[in-house]
Structure 1
Amino acid sequence: MQLPAISLPKVEFPFDIPVLWHPVVDHFVIALPVVILLLELVNLVLRKKAISGMSFFLILFTVFAAIGAYFTGLVDGSEAYPTLNDAAKEALAAHKNLGTYLMLASGVLLLFKLISMLTDKSIIRVIYIFILIVFVAGIFEQGEEGGELVYKHGLNVAQVKVLDDELFDVQEELDETIEELEEMKASVETEKEENIETNTTQTEAETAVETTPVETEVKKEVETLQVEGMPEEMVQPEIATH
């Protein structure tokens, strides 16, 4: 089920949070709620205040761990975000959203634990146990999503980043090669057209040269025929006058 998007105000710290601390803190956020749930289930039978007190302090520690996981996650996510594809960015946004809910839920869990310790009402204890179970289920879901971000999308994995950089370089070289091929193709087409025009001009010139002697010869033959066909001038005999 997709949870409604939620965002919290940005908090500025007087120090820089190191990168890659998120996986370290996450181990506590995942392990502690499981231990707390086991303690509470055992305490349903034993009813020991010592176990309840231990559970309370573990929940308090879980709250701090959840806050730490949230802010270290923001740092690691911001570091990896520019290198992710669209699917990974969408998965990271969902992971952050669920992490925000879990951080707030840890505070609610602590509140109900405190109320259940101060009162003996069974309904409060039932609500607290229910919230704890839902919280543990959410933690497992968050852990699975985090694993997918690492193993499927390569979030903050150095070797994957190296391969992505190499792939980017290869893609860039391929694009440049394609552009060069397109330019060469255009150049060949232009040269081909110029050769065709040159050959056409030469052919027309040769045809003109070959046609000129023929026309001259035909013209001479026509003139000869005209001369031969003309009648000779009649020579009148001289008449003696004496």
Structure 2
Amino acid sequence: MSLVKTIRQTLVPIHKQGYPFIAIFFVMSLLLGLLWEPLMWLGFVLTAWCAYFFRDPQRLTPLDDDLVISPADGRVSSITKLTPPEELGLGSEPMLRISVFMNVFNCHVNRAPMRGRVARIAYRKGQFVNAELDKASHDNERNGLVIDTAQGEIGVVQIAGLVARRIVCWTSHGASLQAGERFGLIRFGSRLDVFLPAGAQARVSLGQTAIAGETVLAEFGSAKGPTIGRRD
């Protein structure tokens, strides 16, 4: 195996959304170095962190319409039944909500939890309180997707946090998403809520570490044995 191929397989790709920020961090480091050299090296460390933040690794996603896959890297911070945000149009009955909290060291690329068609996209302005708090679901700035799946409509909500000030969503109304497919990201610390209809059973525990595109958050029906996967 050639050295170049080994390096390519070792390095984690960086999402294009991060290129402008990495460039800004790098240029600022050089400018700070003109004032005092130690500041330049500190800036290079922050530049490396910025590149790490925008990493976009491949994931092996289980392909099964009964499985709900984590849309984000992070910690499972809530498993409860709650009425979904009004703007999603999912009704007033409580649904199973599983929340994944992302800190500034998690990969922030968001992935579709199930295969389906984007039925609605609803953006709502709001506050920027700590995304780990339960009230962030209602108070914070957020962007919600309703995905029409084989199990019915589910809600996926990107929630801005105390540090995060920018929600990015590049999918569109009517688009078809595969489970594990990238649909957006949030800068720089935030949370993803998944609202699931009746029949879904949680398959994670509070505090468990979830991996976007790989960890099974919930399941509809009974297990059917081994499942094939898709690497992306």
When you count strand as a share of all residues, which structure comes out higher? Answer: 2
TM-score above 0.5, yes or no: no
TM normalised by structure 2 equals 0.23
TM normalised by structure 1 equals 0.22
When you count helix as a share of all residues, which structure comes out higher? Answer: 1
Larger radius of gyration: 1
Answer 1 or 2: higher relative contact order, Cα 8 Å, separation at least 6. Answer: 2
